[in-house]
Amino acid sequence: MVKGVLLDLGGVVYVGDAVLPGALEALDRLRAAGLALRYLTNTTRSPRRKLLAKLHALGVSAEAEELFMPAIAARRYLEAQGLSPHLLVHPALEEDFAGLPEGQARAVVIGDAGEGFTYAALNAAFRALEQGAAFLALARNRSFQDDDGARSLDAGAFVAALEFASQREAKLFGKPAADFFAAAVASLGCAPGEAAMVGDDVESDVAGALVAGLHGVLVRTGKYRDGDEEAIDPPPSAVVDDLAAAVDWILERTDSD
């Protein structure tokens, strides 16, 4: 039985500044069915404030506590550990780390810095790691669907570069980190096996959800490419055309085991 739903945003609910056909109606059906809903996104180019405003402008009903983002999870970790961030992120995201108290130790925080991925910036992060800074990655996706509809290089390649150079492994926030899924499911008030994750990224969204004990539903929108479902084992719980079809699959499993 499915009691709660986790949804990716880009490529599932919208692309760029346009809602995908049928997405708003599909969300309304989930709400009408009384299912708890959370939005999980690995975007690290927009702060929570702007992403929430974008959702509202697109007609998507969402509250701040329903939005799970790597930067928010990383900020909580920095606060709990008393760490000061050395940021290698997009300038727009810096506000989500504003106001942190100065800690006794530092942490490199890497997200999708876009044009900020210069040699100088990467080398500064590398030198901080060499000096003992903690290593936090907001995501390690290979690619994302950009506003022009084509796929663009995501932060994962740059995380891998710093891992290679520093011979250290980054602590991952966001999908597919098990802790990220666990926190979202806990907020739903259901068990992992009673939650379904819907996404267009077979690795971060679907494989990550399956490892965390959730149902993983892959949609053929956004960054999906033919045959993506064959790249993971076990396979997705379902492969469907779009969010509307994913909601059909979910609602069929709300009243029976």
Would you state the structure tokens that stand for residue 136, as one six-digit string? 């936090």
Show pLDDT as tens, one digit a residue, over the chain (257 residues). 999 999 999 999 999 899 999 999 999 999 999 999 999 999 999 999 999 999 999 999 999 999 999 999 999 999 999 999 999 999 999 999 999 988 889 999 999 999 999 999 999 999 999 999 999 999 998 988 887 878 889 999 999 999 999 999 999 999 999 999 999 999 999 999 999 999 999 999 999 999 999 999 999 999 999 999 999 999 999 999 999 999 999 999 986 44
Classified as helix, coil or strand, 188 is helix
Give residue 257's pLDDT: 43
Residue 4's DSSP bridge partners are 36, 195
Q: CATH classification of 4-69+175-251 is 3.40.50.1000, yes or no? A: yes
Three-class SS string for 28-84? HHHHHCCCEEEEECCCCCCCHHHHHHHHHHCCCCCCHHHEECHHHHHHHHHHHHCEE
Give residue 255's pLDDT: 67
Residue extent(s) of CATH 3.40.50.1000 domains in the chain: 4-69+175-251, 71-172
Which residue type occupies 210?
A: L
The CATH number of the domain covering residues in 71-172: 3.40.50.1000
Question: pTM for the full model?
Answer: 0.89
Q: Is the peptide bond before 176 cis (omega within 30 degrees of 0)?
A: yes
Classified as helix, coil or strand, 7 is strand
**Alpha-carbon span 119 to 113, nearest angstrom:** 12
- The DSSP code for 152 is E
**Alpha-carbon span 33 to 31, nearest angstrom:** 5
Give residue 148's pLDDT: 81
